[in-house]
Structures are given as structure tokens and as C-alpha cells.
Copies of this chain bind each other. A is one copy, B any other.
Amino acid sequence: MEKKVTKRAPTLCPVARAEDLVGDRWTVLVLRELFGGARRFDEIQAGTEATPQMAAARLKQMEADGLIERRPYSQRPLRHEYHLTEKGRAFFPVLLALRAWGETWCKAPGEARAVEFTHDACGGPAGLGPLCETCGRSLSHDDLTAERTPAYAREREQRLRRFKGLS
């Protein structure tokens, strides 16, 4: 019960191809955590609220798909961190678009944003679009500084406490 080779029809459609790799909730949430700076198994697990098997299974598959790589950060005991590859980092625009759609269309009026980005290149707020709302240039992950809004920071802390409590 180890092979998960994702045997799908080899369509030319790039959307279907992409969905074969990232077409499930957990994978996308893991990517979100990695873009947010998480590196260790338990950070990722806690941040996504996945079960350990789901986290382990997704990370394994994502490594096989070339989205992430495992890097040892300690011999004895041997432990690894998970890092985005170039392919993984290239996914950022999709996540940004998904975030914009989610903020705009999946929230009740008055609900707070989760994260505000500052565009380092111009110093202004970046907004939701693919272009900086302050300077109009296009946004890459390296040019952005994320700051969690207070409400979202609280939510994350509670999640973390719940996780620590149960583990």
C-alpha cells in the first residue's frame, strides 16, 4: 500500500495536470504553510490541522512530485526540514489568486482579512491582486512581507494550543 503514482489519463490540459499534483485541500494548505515559513513536520501538521498520516502522506507525495525537498537539519537523530523547490515556489501566483478570490467571495461582510502583504519594493500595502495596489508592479513572494491580522493571529495561536494540548 505504498504506490500512489497518480495514474491519470495523460491529458494535455495543464489545469488537469496541475490538479493531479495539487488537486486536494491538504496539499494546498501545506503549500500555504510552507510559503508562510513553516519547515518542520509538526508546524505543518499543526498549521493545516491534518492528521499525522495525512501530513506524512502529502509530504511524501509532494516530494515525489518535485514540489518540496527534504533537507536534514540534524544527524543523530536524523531529522528533516521541508523546503519548497523552484517548482513549488512557482506555485505562489496560484495561491495569491486563490487568496484574493477567497477574501473577496468566501467571506461575510465585515469579516477580517487573514494576512496583509507589504510590498517591500515600494513599501506600500500590496492588496489582493497580482499587481501591487500601491505601485502597480507585479508581486513575487520574495518582495512581500506578510503580517497576520490580529484576529487571524489569535486563531492561529488557539490552533497551536489545541495541537500542543492534544499531542
Contact = CB atoms under 8 A, between A and B. Distances in A.
B93 A100 contact: yes
A109 interface: no
A14 B93 contact: no
Interface of A is mostly: helix
A6 B122 CA distance: 40
Interface string A107-142: 100011110000000000000001100000010000
Contact of A19 (B21, B28, B151): B28
Nearest to A48: B16
Contacts of A95: 15
Given A25-B24, A28-B23, A131-B138, A99 B11 contact: no
Contacts of A107: 14, 17
Interface of A: 9, 11-21, 23-25, 28-29, 32, 49, 87, 90-91, 93-107, 111-114, 130-131, 138, 149, 151-152, 155
30 contacts: A9-B49, A12-B114, A12-B152, A13-B32, A13-B102, A13-B152, A14-B98, A14-B99, A14-B102, A14-B113, A15-B95, A15-B99, A15-B102, A16-B29, A16-B32, A18-B99, A18-B105, A20-B25, A20-B106, A23-B24, A24-B25, A87-B105, A91-B101, A93-B97, A93-B100, A94-B94, A94-B97, A97-B97, A130-B131, A130-B138
